[in-house]
Amino acid sequence: MRGQWVVVRNVRSPLEKFVAIDLVSRKEWGARAPRGSYSTLTSTKGVKVHYTGGRVEPAIVNDHTKCVAMVKSIQNYHMDGNGWLDIGYSMIACPHRKVFVGRGPGHLPAANGPGLNSGHYAVLGLVGNSGLVQPPDAMLHGILDAVDYLREHGGAGKEIKGHRDGYSTDCPGDALYAWVKKGAPRPGDRQPTPPGPPSTHPQWPGRALKYPPIMRGDDVRTWQAQMEKRGWTLDVDGAYGPQSRDVCVGFQQQENLKDDGVVDKATWNASFEAPIT
């Protein structure tokens, strides 16, 4: 069964990128007709991500026909068990990066919970609480493809949340929810490196300490005291003279810095940051 490739603009990025969505139409997956008319939904805060809440056979990863059968069984349960007019989700993503049209954009979903359906579209990832629990990368791409599609065609806002946000449920499962809490990144996107802990040592004073001539000041004393802590022998007297210069040269050679006896910014920082050996 082949899906329809539709080009939509990826509005998650500030750049004008275009992505393809492998869309499986309701006709292609054999959806039943809804029992009535959908309520209209022109815009939302964003999308809520769901999981099935039951066991998902890992075999669906290697057999897309099993994904189709699963979506059809979910629709039957929602219509015949819950009494809903149709499947409760707006769109469904499977492990093959295919996106099934559920109720689709512009239509009120039913899966978010009473009073919560007008705030967000509902996107299901075909994982559960046993069997296939960890969403494959292709499924995460599919969920984001669905989000982009709903933004482009359904007025979905920027939010991507889990079903459990604002509703008492385990959905969308711990694995999928952990991904949502990270900001729902696309697999393979380079994530920014978190900033390291702020520096706690004294800032470089803005002047290089060198000899000759002898330089004096509190900055000299601070550096000398640090070198003494590191095990070097020198007078902590606030005067940068030949003794301080020689200690500086020895330290620079130890740390593979330019051994000119000048406490520049690199040498200053290394004095406080380099491991003590």
pLDDT digits (tens, 9 = 90+) for 155-180: 999 999 999 998 999 999 999 999 99
Query: Where are the domains positioned within the chain?
Result: 4-181, 215-273
Residue 12 reports pLDDT greater than 50: no
Mean pLDDT of 264-272: 95
What does the CA dihedral 138, 141, 142, 147 come to, rounded to 10 degrees? 170
Mean pLDDT of 191-205: 69
Residue type for position 206? G
Any idea which fold 215-273 has? Answer: Muramoyl-pentapeptide Carboxypeptidase; domain 1 (1.10.101)
Quote the strand ranges of the chain, DSSP E.
4-9, 18-24, 46-50, 55-56, 91-93, 98-101, 120-125, 130-131, 159-162, 215-216, 239-240
pLDDT of residue 188: 84
pLDDT of residue 15: 34
Q: At what angle do helices 265-273 and 242-254 cross, to 10 degrees?
A: 70
> Could you tell me which of 68, 39, 61 has the C-alpha nearest to residue 139?
61
Q: Which DSSP symbol is given to 209? A: B
Any idea which fold 4-181 has? Answer: Lysozyme-like (3.40.80)
Residue type for position 123? V
pLDDT of residue 191: 55
75-91, pLDDT tens digit by residue?
Answer: 999 999 999 999 999 99
Mean pLDDT of 196-205: 76
